[in-house]
């Protein structure tokens, strides 16, 4: 409790272990660093090197465990969480951040591009949620799940058919799991990022006309930063959000309100 009367411990992740997928860069790295600043231990999952993330966490005095995995292999998603749980201890939370995108006109999108995106962005998300819930329920533990959706969970977009479908699915499964697990001590919520400065948006930011059009619609007048998403994730992982179930929180600078 500080002198404002706010119980800051409600926003702490001290003593918590959180698994974050796609922890090597961008939004995933931002989430990892925010969790570390809040006192949590992060188990980072990535298909490429997470050395940069580990170095940044160490500079904050935090704890980071790297687990190499490619969630495109959906058969490995569920067993991955079980392996982490068995080898290094129980998890208190899960952030399903890993995702991919394929850009093409809908008439040209290949079946492979559809399947690849749906496997990583939706199927692996469900399997990891399922695995965490099974372990938490079996052990009588509480759990927090944060799924990274998108403003395209609410909109159509253009030239990203499989991505849009997958992110609509993430929102739907978040609500479904919240309905099933809320009374059992597991919170399932989602964050819907807007336009954030990451590798995925580099091409858009490099296009002066497209970037200006995007910024012209964002009331905040700027692109988001990974820490904007990370700090929202901390709230949804912390005790402060215990009565939130099935919420989809836009962190978009006001994009959806426009």
Query: For 162-192, b where at least 16 C-beta lie within 10 A, e where not — what string?
Result: bbbbbbbbbbebbbebbeebeeeebbbbbbb
Distances (CA, A) of 204 to 11, 25, 107, 196, 197: 34, 18, 22, 11, 10
d(CA 94, CA 143): 8
Contacts of 167 (CB under 8 A, 6+ apart): 121, 149, 150, 152, 153
Active site residue 243: no
d(CA 24, CA 26): 7
Q: How is residue 50 written in tokens?
A: 């997470």
In the set 85, 163, 195, 223, the catalytic residue is 163
Q: Tell me, rounded to whole angstroms, the distance of Cα 161 from its chain centroid.
A: 20
Phi-psi region of 196 (alpha: psi -120 to 50; beta: other; left: phi over 0): beta
72 SS3 class: coil
Quote the radius of gyration of the chain (alpha carbons, Å). 18
Residues annotated as catalytic (active site), given as ranges: 163
């Amino acid at each position: 409790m500080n002198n404002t009367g706010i119980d800051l411990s409600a926003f702490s992740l001290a003593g918590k272990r959180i698994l974050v997928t796609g922890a090597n860069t961008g939004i995933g790295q931002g989430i990892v660093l925010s969790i570390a600043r809040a006192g949590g231990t992060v188990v980072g999952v990535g298909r490429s090197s997470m050395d940069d993330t580990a170095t940044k966490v160490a500079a904050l005095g935090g704890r980071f465990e790297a687990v190499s995995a490619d969630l495109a292999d959906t058969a490995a998603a569920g067993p991955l969480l079980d392996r982490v749980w068995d080898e290094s201890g129980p998890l208190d939370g899960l952030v399903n951040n890993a995702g991919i995108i394929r850009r093409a006109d809908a008439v040209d999108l290949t079946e492979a591009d559809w399947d690849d995106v749906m496997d990583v962005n939706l199927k692996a998300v469900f399997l990891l949620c399922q695995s965490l819930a099974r372990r938490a329920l079996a052990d009588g533990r509480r759990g927090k799940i944060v799924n990274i959706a998108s403003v395209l969970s609410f909109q159509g977009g253009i030239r990203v058919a499989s991505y849009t479908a997958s992110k609509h699915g993430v929102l739907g499964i978040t609500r479904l799991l919240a309905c099933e697990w809320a009374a059992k001590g597991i919170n399932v919520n989602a964050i819907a990022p807007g336009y954030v400065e990451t590798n995925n948006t580099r091409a858009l930011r490099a296009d002066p006309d497209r970037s200006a059009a995007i910024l012209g619609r964002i009331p905040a007048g700027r692109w988001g930063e990974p820490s904007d998403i990370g700090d929202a994730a901390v709230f949804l992982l912390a005790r402060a959000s215990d009565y939130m179930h099935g919420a989809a929180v836009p962190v978009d600078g006001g994009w959806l309100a426009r």
